[in-house]
Amino acid sequence: MSSDRRSEARVGLASTFRPLIDDRGQRIRRLRPADLKRAARSENPRLALLANRLRAAMKSEGRRYTPDRVILTLLLVVGVFVAYGIIGGLMIGRMGVAGSLIGLTVFIALVVVASKGYQIYVVRGALGQTARTAVAEGVCGSCAFSLEGTPADADGAVTCPECGAAWNADRIVAPFWSRPAMPVLRASVLAWLAPGVRAASALFAPDDRGRYVPCPDSRLLRVRRDLIGEIPADERQELVRSMRRVGRWWRVGLMLLLSWMPAGMLYFAWRIWTEDPMAGVWFFLILALPVLVGVLMVPLSSAFGGPHRTARVAVRHGRCGSCLERLDDAPADDRGRAVCTRCGAAWLTGPATRAAS
């Protein structure tokens, strides 16, 4: 890992393909999902809880919108539909209704392959960032082995007894063995009915020490009721409005950019309907209609306004980006970050926070 904490927080092509190094400049392997699964089976309940939280953080980071991921998504979408248009058009032209069914099968296969490739790309990019949280929690950022009880060497680095990766001792800011994790989010069946409300496992983002913490969704439907109840109603409404404003024009632009997809599906449904009305109706219901509804729902989603940004909105309103506790009287650490007295998350407040958002 680089010693530049700001560069470590970046995601993109560089974080995805550059080698990962520890604090002694040695190249190490990336933390793997298998390592987290092993740690999740630990007899230490707090270590197991941490491993599951790191897995959730990796999932959340994988859903983060970055320029490279947006471009890759658009390229994959265009590629899938262009390939389907060529193959489906040939099949319909040669085989009629039977060709449309073959084309639909090809389309599903293309979507599966594209989704798998995208998942591999984003998970690899997320693993470098997840390693920072692992070390902050007292776990090796290369193999997820517990660093509890491991003494620091003469250079101030802690060497993992399992894989030999070295980490500066001052990175361990909230070791899992010292305090239980603060529960912030809750599961809610009703939350699934609201458009764009993400699963609780996808609502994690790094605080300003690089440690992943649970963060509120943009409608505050996933936050524990007792935490929400402490916020005055008018302030809560303003907080939700501010969170929903984040990325709204990007969402509208994305909807307009993707509008050609349902248009193409409707065109193919019409062509099939002219030859076989029943087949055209089924094509519309199974494929064209879901695509149309999905594109129209984009403005109501949380795209471009995920936990990385909702946390910053909360901090700008003077509240912790994780548990929404007031930061007015929060003590500052050695780098001027306000440390939440309830959950321990650390945040830069003032102009620095606005720039970071």
Q: Look at residue 106 and tell me if it is in a domain.
A: yes
Q: Look at residue 29 and tell me if it is in a domain.
A: yes
* Helix residue ranges per DSSP H, the chain: 5-8, 13-17, 33-40, 45-62, 67-95, 97-136, 225-229, 233-245, 248-258, 260-275, 277-283, 289-296, 307-316, 351-356
Under DSSP, the state recorded for 194 is S
Q: What whole-number distance in Å separates Cα of residue 308 and Cα of residue 306?
A: 6
Residue 66 pLDDT grade (very low, low, confident, very high; cuts 50, 70, 90): confident
| pLDDT value, residue 216 | 92
For residue 253, the tally of other CB atoms under 10 A from its CB is: 14
Q: What is the pLDDT of residues 214-237, one digit of tens each?
A: 899 998 988 999 999 999 999 999
Lowest-confidence pick of 31-45, 187-201, 272-286, 301-315 = 187-201
Q: What whole-number distance in Å separates Cα of residue 11 and Cα of residue 3?
A: 16
According to DSSP, the residues that pair with 28 across neighbouring strands are 20
Contact (CB, 8 A) for 108 and 97: no
Q: Look at residue 352 and tell me if it is in a domain.
A: no
Q: Look at residue 60 and tell me if it is in a domain.
A: yes
Q: Look at residue 170 and tell me if it is in a domain.
A: yes
Share of the chain above pLDDT 90, in %: 15
Nearest to 217 by CA among 191, 239, 198: 198
CA 316 to chain centre: 21
Q: Look at residue 33 and tell me if it is in a domain.
A: yes
Nearest to 324 by CA among 231, 210, 202: 231
How many structural domains compose the chain?
Answer: 1
The per-residue DSSP string of 157-174 comes to EEEPTTT--EEEGGG-SS
| pLDDT value, residue 190 | 63
Residue 282 pLDDT grade (very low, low, confident, very high; cuts 50, 70, 90): confident
Cα angle for residues 70, 72, 78 (degrees, 5° grid): 100
| pLDDT value, residue 8 | 42
Which of the two residues, 255 and 89, has the higher pLDDT score? 255
Q: What is the pLDDT of residues 168-207, one digit of tens each?
A: 888 888 788 887 777 898 877 666 666 667 777 788 888 8
Assign residue 339 a region: left if phi > 0, alpha if psi is -120 to 50, beta otherwise? beta
Both tokens assigned to 140: 């090796």
Contacts with 155 (C-beta within 8 Å, 6 or more apart), sequence order:
24
Residue 321 pLDDT grade (very low, low, confident, very high; cuts 50, 70, 90): very high
- On the question of pLDDT at 356 being above 80, the answer is no
Q: What is the mean pLDDT of the chain?
A: 82
Please state the length of the chain.
Answer: 357
Q: What is the pLDDT of residues 80-135, one digit of tens each?
A: 888 877 877 777 777 766 677 777 788 888 888 888 888 778 777 777 667 777 88
For residue 43, the tally of other CB atoms under 10 A from its CB is: 6
Q: What whole-number distance in Å separates Cα of residue 113 and Cα of residue 247?
A: 29
Lowest-confidence pick of 30-39, 155-164, 248-257 = 30-39
- On the question of pLDDT at 73 being above 70, the answer is yes
Q: Look at residue 124 and tell me if it is in a domain.
A: yes
Q: What whole-number distance in Å separates Cα of residue 69 and Cα of residue 350?
A: 30
- On the question of pLDDT at 263 being above 60, the answer is yes
Contact (CB, 8 A) for 353 and 315: yes
Q: Look at residue 125 and tell me if it is in a domain.
A: yes
| pLDDT value, residue 347 | 93
Region 146-163: mean pLDDT is 90
Which residue segment(s) compose the domain that 121 sits in?
Answer: 1-174
Both tokens assigned to 337: 């970050």
According to DSSP, the residues that pair with 100 across neighbouring strands are none
**Which pTM value belongs to this model?**
0.68
According to DSSP, the residues that pair with 44 across neighbouring strands are none
- On the question of pLDDT at 15 being above 50, the answer is yes
